[in-house]
Amino acid sequence: MFYGVELTSRLMLGTAQYPSPAVLRAAIAASGTQVITVSLRREGAEGARFREIIAEAGCRILPNTAGCHSAREAVTTAQMARELFGTNWIKLEVIGHADTLQPDPFALVEAARILCAEGFEVFPYTTEDLVLGEKLVEAGCRVLMPWGAPIGSGQGLRNVEGLRAMRAHFPDTPLVIDAGIGTPSDAARAMEMGFDAVLLNTAVARAGDPVTMARAFARAVEAGRLGFKAGLMPRRDMAQPSTPVFGMAELG
């Protein structure tokens, strides 16, 4: 549940880089997602046609502040997005490093504090840093979106132990893996670790067959969540036979 909204799909999908509007429309349908992210800059560039596609999808819109490099720029973009899309939801991105697209922790917290005070329901794109996560929660964020790896890199879950620590540290806060997911198995693993959802874009949009890939991710997310709920077996250092030796007949 995110800000009081209960969803049946745990896959969130971005809407950039698709080869055509028709493919985007079909991929959204195949994914079964109920939340799609939209960049204000992208919407402005493509206009009415793009707005028509996202309206037809029937999904909840999560506008983002992609491309912002300061708190002031992110806040202004969020305010414009609320007016355009009519939602208090905002995916907050404040980029601090040009090569890795890692968020600027100081500007991120500053922007989050301002937006939460203005009634926004903020989904901050962050790292797996526990201190930064706490500062964002203190600012009013009720969801955290740690990266798996740099945006668009397809490297998967690069710091598994750090992400496990974050999941354990914030047991009651919805956590969404955002950025770096490259394969359906990455998404399944995130869900097996107990994360509440995954958000991805490039892995579907730039696939050879985006529609089939969207379907693959939908099934991977569902499988990973079912595995988590069922209870995964613990890893062992030594082999353990599934059929015990004790009680077997001894043939002399």
Which CATH number characterizes residue 32's domain?
3.20.20.70
**Which residues contact residue 135 at a Cβ distance below 8 angstroms, ignoring those fewer than 6 apart?**
105, 109
Q: Is the pLDDT of residue 38 over 70?
A: yes
pLDDT at site 248: 64
Alpha helices in the chain (DSSP H): 21-31, 40-57, 71-85, 105-117, 130-139, 160-169, 184-192, 202-205, 210-230
Q: Which residues contact 243 (CB under 8 A, 6 or more apart)?
A: none
Residues marked active site are found at 91
Q: Are 193 and 228 in contact (CB under 8 A)?
A: yes
Residue 38 falls inside a structural domain: yes
CA distance 209 to 30: 12
Q: Which domain holds residue 161?
A: 11-230
Residue 63 covered by a domain: yes
pLDDT of residue 50: 76
The better pLDDT of the pair 176, 251 is held by: 176
pLDDT at residue 236, rounded to an integer: 84
Q: How far apart are CA 64 and CA 66, in angstroms?
A: 6
Per-residue pLDDT, 246: 62
Please give the share of the chain, as a percent, with pLDDT higher than 90: 80
Q: Which residues are annotated as a binding site?
A: 152, 179-180, 201-202
Average pLDDT over residues 204-223: 97
Instruction: Read off the pLDDT of residues 66-124 as tens digits, 9 standing for 90 and up.
Output: 999 999 999 999 999 999 999 999 999 999 998 888 999 999 999 999 999 999 999 99
Which residue in this structure is represented by tokens 């991929």? 27
- 252: in domain: no
Does the pLDDT at position 250 exceed 80? Answer: no
Q: Is a pLDDT exceeding 80 seen at residue 174?
A: yes
Asked if the structure places residue 240 within a domain, the reply is no
Tokens standing for residue 224: 């990973």
The verdict on pTM exceeding 0.85 is yes
Please report, for the chain, how many H helices and E strands are present, in that order: 9, 8
User: C-alpha 58: how far from its chain's center?
Assistant: 19
Query: What mean pLDDT, rounded, does the chain reach?
Result: 92
Residue 175 reports pLDDT greater than 80: yes
For residue 251, being part of any structural domain is answered with: no
> Average pLDDT in the 219-228 region?
98
Q: Which helix (H) or strand (E) holds 199?
A: strand 197-200
Q: Give yes or no for a contact between 175 and 146, defined as CB atoms under 8 angstroms apart.
A: yes
Binding site membership for 1-deoxy-D-xylulose 5-phosphate: which residues?
Answer: 152, 179-180, 201-202
> In angstroms, rounded to a whole number, what is the distance separating the alpha carbons of residues 169 and 28?
33
> Which amino acid type is present at position 39?
S
Q: Measure Cα distances from 174 to 145, 162, 163 in Å.
A: 9, 16, 13
Task: For residue 5, tell me if it sits in a domain.
Answer: no
Q: Is the pLDDT of residue 155 over 80?
A: yes
Q: Compare 42 and 174 and report the one with higher pLDDT.
A: 174
Please give the structure tokens belonging to residue 245.
């030796």
What is the mean predicted confidence (pLDDT) over 177-188? 96
Phi, then psi, of 142 in degrees rounded to 5: -110, 10
At 252 the pLDDT is 58
Single out the residue of 133, 73, 87 nearest to residue 109, CA to CA. Answer: 133
At residue 118, the pLDDT reads 98
pLDDT of residue 46: 56
Average pLDDT on 170-189 reads 97
Percent of the chain with pLDDT over 70: 93
Is a pLDDT exceeding 80 seen at residue 249? no
Number of domains in the chain: 1
Q: How far apart are CA 114 and CA 199, in angstroms?
A: 24
Please check whether residue 226 lies inside any domain of the structure: yes
